[in-house]
Structure 1
């Protein structure tokens, strides 16, 4: 089924990559974050994808959030080697899908989403939660083009423009898709300050009004925000768009960019409690972001089934 059709029904997205890599002994404490595993342990990346398919995910998001060519070049790789790693990220997700489907007795439609993190992720200073950076439209496009081109060439089903905090950057990315990849579908996961505001201060109504006019954007919503922020954000988005809504929040823990650590918050609710609220508020694509696990994705799958 084409992904544009798929988003008209409930879909379960996967969960965190870095958390699961760390459980497998992979060091992610660098500017490359989880993308470092593409160099050091691609088999671990495969294993994480497979664990999410086993848990019930319909969509695997590639390990390319921080995997951009400038970041790889900073550690001494050539542009060609950098692009090969991005292609590798897609290949291991595709292989995990293929191997999972080989164990199933009934056919399932499973999808690969190519992760595209914002420029703020490349800065590796928490800027994806502030949007406090500014480049020209051309500079944004020069930054994003090599990764997007490789993801498209590698055959992803949809691009996941994730944790996007900066409206000017979002517009530059969509313009790039229109000009260079007019057949490529995408979803947009917004990084929000609150239920009505993008992290850079732009009203969500303005952002959504723009995205409503973009036929390549097949779903929009929020990701990597706290669980307790989601319902209000979905209600605000539903009032502004008829596009399918997506949500994949973090675990509810708080991130400290100064030391790149997460801190547990008390009384954090469970996915099984919140998913019915999110569906009632219009969410079609539901998964997890930072610090979520296959158990969380299994909760989502079981709750959506009920």
Structure 2
């Protein structure tokens, strides 16, 4: 019987829906201070849906994202962001504490999101600058998680920095790449996923994430060459276009796809499993219902969810 690891789904959009707050830069991070327990509630609902991995709500907890003023890439035009860098350690502690609520039912993956901004390889710092910043986060998370999940990696340089940073801990390192929505054989940077696979061959698992579900088969085909466990967790955004990549920085600028129902998304996920993926789940704009549908399909098809 083939064993499948079932990840959870999106956290940020789910928190916006449940909190009743408008989408805003860093809201899904600040919510842990303003509304403690809400993240744990989401973790619990994903575990109830069948997820066997809980991903910490630490994706955006980077010093550059928390830093206020014009230097923050998440500031809207003409808007000064408050400086929250002093909360760096406290926010990581809150994310870890919220995830512990499902520790008895799920493995915990320490989420490390991209520096700069999601999808934007053009504003990601160079390898020498990025590696110690990723390592700082990895070392904070490692003692309380089962694995490190570096997410939404958009370039080869970022992949190298993430992998080397993760290897400074004793936890398994999973690398998740974001790929072009129109052609999943390329990263958001325009570099081939086949080259990312060469780097990822030294990781413990390699995935494609936060991209259109339709782009995942091409990405998985390239990543399968690593010889490592492969997987995918797509988003349910409308297409992340080249124009967005030239200037967009937040999910608030993107729209949800009305056609990506739990049933439709599960169709994609089962296709990834048939291609050899042993790790599947959901990313932005997927929720507990999407994960529950995947779990149901996996069990009906004779897979063991581990």
Shorter-normalised TM-score: what interval?
0.7 to 0.9
Residue 145 (structure 1) aligned with residue 135 (structure 2): yes
In structure 2, distance between residues paired with 1:117 and 1:258: 13
Kindly state the Cα deviation for residue 299 of structure 1 after the two structures are TM-superposed: 0.6
Contact 1:162 1:188 in 2 (8 A): yes
**Where does residue 165 of structure 2 map in the other structure?**
176
TM-score of the two chains, using structure 1 as the length reference: 0.82
Equivalent runs, 1:156-305 vs 2, <5 Å: 156-178=145-167, 180-181=168-169, 183-193=170-180, 194-212=183-201, 214=202, 217-238=203-224, 240-254=225-239, 257=248, 260-265=252-257, 267-268=259-260, 270-305=264-299
Contact 1:19 1:290 in 2 (8 A): yes
In structure 1, distance between residues paired with 2:159 and 2:283: 20
In structure 1, distance between residues paired with 2:231 and 2:278: 6
**Structure 2 counterpart SS, 1:263:** coil
Give the count of matched residue pairs. 275
Any unmatched runs of 5+ in structure 1?
1-7, 102-109, 122-127
In structure 2, distance between residues paired with 1:265 and 1:88: 31
In structure 1, distance between residues paired with 2:29 and 2:22: 8
Residue 66 (structure 1) aligned with residue 60 (structure 2): yes
Equivalent runs, 1:109-148 vs 2, <5 Å: 110-121=106-117, 128-148=118-138
Kindly state the Cα deviation for residue 252 of structure 1 after the two structures are TM-superposed: 4.5
In structure 1, distance between residues paired with 2:116 and 2:124: 10
RMSD of aligned residue pairs (Cα, Å): 2.2
Kindly state the Cα deviation for residue 29 of structure 1 after the two structures are TM-superposed: 2.8
Any unmatched runs of 5+ in structure 2?
69-81, 301-306
Kindly state the Cα deviation for residue 77 of structure 1 after the two structures are TM-superposed: 4.1
Q: For the structure 1 residues 11 and 143, does the alpha-carbon distance in structure 2 shift closer, same or farther, using more than 3 Å as the test?
A: same
TM-score of the two chains, using structure 2 as the length reference: 0.82
**Structure 2 counterpart SS, 1:120:** coil
**Structure 2 counterpart SS, 1:151:** helix
